[in-house]
Amino acid sequence: MKKFVALLLSLLLMLSLVACGQTDDGEDATAAMAPGKYTAEYRGYKDLVKVETEVDADRIVAVKVVDHKETLGMGTRAVEIMPERIVAAQSVAVDAVSGATATSMAILAAVRDALEQAGADLDQFRVEPEPPTPQDVNYDTDIVVIGGGAAGLSAGLEAARSGAEVILVEKMDIVGGNTIRSSGAFNVAGHPIQLEAGKGRTDVEAFIEFTMTGGHNLNDPELVRYMIENSAGVVDWLEEVGFKPVTGETYNAFYVEGYAPGLIVGLEERFLAQGGKILLGTKATEIIMKDGTAAGVICEGPDGGTVTINADAVIIASGGFGANLDMVVELDPSLEGFVTNNSPGATGDGILMAQAVGAAVRDMNEIQIHPTVHVPTATLITEGCRGSGGILVNTSGKRFTDECNYRDVVSAAILEQDQQFAYLIINQEIVDGNANIQGYYEIGVLKKFDTIADLADFVGVEEAVLQETLDTWNSYVAQQHDPEFNSQFSWIRDLSEGPWYSVEIAPGIHHTMGGIEINTKSEVISTQGSPIPGLYACGEVTGGVHGGNRVGGNAILDCLVFGTTAGREAAAYVK
């Protein structure tokens, strides 16, 4: 009997030990990892992202991105933020960095791979992190800026340079908005740097007419004149704050070094150096009004708590609504089903907040589609491709439009083709002249072809057909005359030499011309027709500058001209 009891106790002890080592579904929950450092690499946005993950027996010790080529200001922020999130949560179920999803997902995949190499039970590291406890926070400042794109950052920087205390709120995890996704080009009329390079528009009046015509004369003439008359001054301002503006490939475009990412990162660094404060992951939800005057902003913080910012002036620079497809389709039902290349943060929040406090809006149904978007990835293909000599051909291998016409005209021409898409064709010389275009090849959007035969196969036509199209185009360039579509040739080269590159493109939702009504001081105009005290707006959140169609290169110009104006005027107002 004693032996039986002893045996029974031994069996129960064994069962209890087994039970302690099993999960409910019978899997081993205490299996230890092999301590060490493990590497794995997965494709991010531009190229492979190589990640080193260090583990001990039961936890992630460190995560480090050891090699990458991700985009400055977007992917680089995910490289900084994601390792910290993963280690802090001990989980690969953490949120991606908003605005840098591709890089974030590559890092997560590499860490999962490393954990598997170490022998981990991945289920232990897929636990959803505990949400933070919401904390309500209050700030007092001179000026609060809503939005961290080119408009918001330039407004904040100029306000800070003018002596104001400034807080900028950005609902995404990174700054940049739509600007950082752009080519970074902005138009200027008659700056000495352009004129010396032989690429500048010398006639401000002609550029005003060009912009008004492009906008179907729905633009506010005063805003257009103010923007273009102050365009050369933007170049001087950028030089003054430490940038090095350079002329672009096309006749009137400027960039700063590093293109759009260089502009955004540079503005952010200079804003912070001037004492500005940036609150990321902080979504403005309401403009505070006191006695008819803007007095601050109420926001939702990254932890879900309420962030109240009391201020003497508010600058709205939150962008358009091109990523809010419900809003887009409500205003223009013909755009149902179109892809958007906008930042996910471009949802029209600022417009709605402004309307709630009595602001007037205009041109809300004027929504631009960009003619050259790679639909599967929603990648916008810069006009620099066409402005440098690229051509568009349809599925029959034939040109069908002036490639450098206004965006709405080129988009309409593409949509008139049988398949409603086209192929953009450029060559090595064009690729070599523009870092943005090189980036399309790096991410796999742009395809390279060593022969016309291979290029024709990609387009789906006979080699002889495409060769004839290219020969005809090259003859037009030599003559500086296009009898078919009257293209302008002051900056265009031929496509006689390969290798050649191509991408299938179609129109996509790009820019919303409508928004908050402002004057040339960037003051928000009420529905009663007068400025709302203390409330300013700039950039794509506003309406009136671009009318019925935005001219390529005028968006960042708009942001910089009216952004610096808003910052300067708001700073003067609060003094």
Instruction: Decide if 407 is catalytic.
Output: yes
Amino acid at position 562, single letter: F
Angle between helices 150-161 and 554-574 (to 10 degrees): 30
CATH of domain 140-366+513-574: 3.50.50.60
The candidate with the shortest Cα–Cα distance to 389, out of 259, 483, 468, 487, is 487
Per-residue tokens: 6: 């002893």
The whole-number pLDDT of residue 196 equals 78
The pLDDT, as a whole number, for residue 4 is 36
Report pLDDT for 202. 62
pLDDT, tens digit, 9 for 90 and up, residues 133-149: 999 999 999 999 999 99
- Name residue 199's amino acid: K
Alpha-carbon distance 220 to 223, whole Å? 5
Contacts of 182 (CB under 8 A, 6+ apart): 260, 380, 555, 556
Secondary structure in 3-state letters for 332-355: CHHHCCCCECCCCCCCCHHHHHHH
Q: What is the pLDDT of residues 6-65, one digit of tens each?
A: 433 343 333 333 333 333 443 444 458 999 999 999 999 988 999 999 999 999 999 999
Selecting among 77, 161, 270, 407, the annotated active-site residue is: 407
State the angle between helix axes of 221-229 and 231-240 in degrees (0 to 180), rounded to the nearest 10.
Answer: 40
Q: What pLDDT does 416 receive?
A: 97
* pTM strictly above 0.85: yes
Backbone angles phi, psi at 430, to 5 degrees: -70, -40
Name the residue ranges covered by the structural domains of the chain.
36-125, 140-366+513-574, 370-508
SS (H, E, C) 376-417: CCCEECCCHHHHCCCEEECCCCCCCCCCCCCHHHHHHHHHCC
Topology classification of domain 370-508:
Flavocytochrome C3; Chain A, domain 1 (3.90.700)
For 36-125, give the CATH class: alpha beta
User: What's the pLDDT tens digit per position in 451-510?
Assistant: 999 999 999 999 999 999 999 999 999 999 999 999 877 667 899 999 999 999 999 999
